[in-house]
Amino acid sequence: MLEINNLHVKLEEEDKVILKGVTLSIKPGSVHAIMGPNGSGKSTLSYVLSGKGGYEVTEGSASLEGAELLEMEPEERAAAGLFLAFQYPVEIPGVGNMTFLRTAVNAQRKARGEDELSAGDFLKIVRTKAKALKIDADMMKRPVNVGFSGGEKKRNEILQMAMLEPKMCILDETDSGLDVDAMKLVSEGVNALRDAGRSFLVITHYQRLLDHIKPDFVHIMADGRIVKTGGPELALEVEKNGYADLLAEVV
């Protein structure tokens, strides 16, 4: 599904190298988690994959189902099936949440050569999916993420994911700022989307999220590289001992 090969990335504006050779292969239907200390490059990886400006790829490649990701515009990556659930979802005053969702869904359908959803069909689908995430009609009417609580913003991200039905979902610290109940709700939303054709890359600081979204693989990222890969037990080890021991072992 997603193949990242020896990816090197620096900041465009300054000579700061952030990713120093990331290699990662994600098969269809699998769930990978990336953990790592602050500043290790986890969020940068998610931004570079989804096409955010301000970064320069100096070496390496990334492809989604064989298509070169790094050459595409962000919207093309989305239409190809990539989705990033933001760590900090952006507030867009003046754009209604429902309008935003419908515009996004139909833009992707159009890019893929499919017919746009009618207003009625769209509404039916969005209502069902919003209900499962406890997103009420009022939240759909409000401007995108404006005045939403931390939990509401993250639920809104998962709703977008559910509506857009991407193949490759990247969740960037989706658990940050969530209370226990909200985390459960969000995890249920994610788990409902798990299937043989859809893969996940879950970026998190805490093992707790991985109790809810069970990964097949756990990677530890440090200083711009993946330094260790294992099963779910690796996350437990981090939770118990922190990163210091692990990193000392690697170096």
Partner 1 sequence: MAQLQAKQDALALRIAGLDLPRAGWSAPARADALTRLSAMGLPSKRDEYWRYTDPTSLTAVAPTVAAPFAYSDEKMVFTDIDRLRLVFVDGVFDADASDDPVLAGVEITRLSASGDLHWARDLYGVLETRGQTPVQRPLAAMNTAFATDGVMIRATGKAAKPVYLVYLHKSNTSDVILHHCIKIEAGAELTILENGPAAARLNKVMEVEVAEGGKFHHIRTQGRDHERRAVTHIFARLAANALFKSFTLTANGHLTRNEAIIEFAGDDAVAHVAGAAVGDGAFHHDDTVFVTHDAERCESRQVFKKVLKNGAIGVFQGKILVKAGAQKTDGYQISQALMLDGDSQFLAKPELEIYADDVVCSHGSTSGAIDEAALFYLQSRGVPKRAAQSLLVLAFLAEAIAEIEDTSLADDIRIRMENWLTRHEGK
Q: Is 210 in the site for partner 1 (CB under 8 A)?
A: no
Q: Is 103 in the site for partner 1 (CB under 8 A)?
A: yes
Which listed range, 98-106, 206-214, 231-239, 242-250, lies at the site for partner 1 (CB under 8 A)? Answer: 98-106
- Pick the binder of partner 1 from 40, 97, 156, 160 (CB under 8 A): 160
Q: How many residues bind partner 1 (CB under 8 A)?
A: 30
Which residues 138-157 are close enough to bind partner 1 by CB under 8 A? Answer: 143
Q: Is 113 in the site for partner 1 (CB under 8 A)?
A: no
Q: Is 92 in the site for partner 1 (CB under 8 A)?
A: yes
Least Cβ distance, residue 103 to partner 1 (angstroms): 6
Q: Is 128 in the site for partner 1 (CB under 8 A)?
A: no
Binding mask 38-77 for partner 1 (x = CB under 8 A): ------------xxxx-------------------xxx-x
Residue pair 232/215 in contact (Cβ under 8 Å)? The answer is yes
What is the rounded distance in angstroms from the CA atom of residue 16 to the CA atom of residue 236? 32
Least Cβ distance, residue 79 to partner 1 (angstroms): 5
Which listed range, 19-27, 92-100, 113-121, 172-180, lies at the site for partner 1 (CB under 8 A)? Answer: 92-100
Residues lying near partner 1 in the complex (CB under 8 A) are found at: 50-53, 73-75, 77-79, 83-84, 86, 89-95, 100, 103-105, 107-108, 111, 143, 160, 164
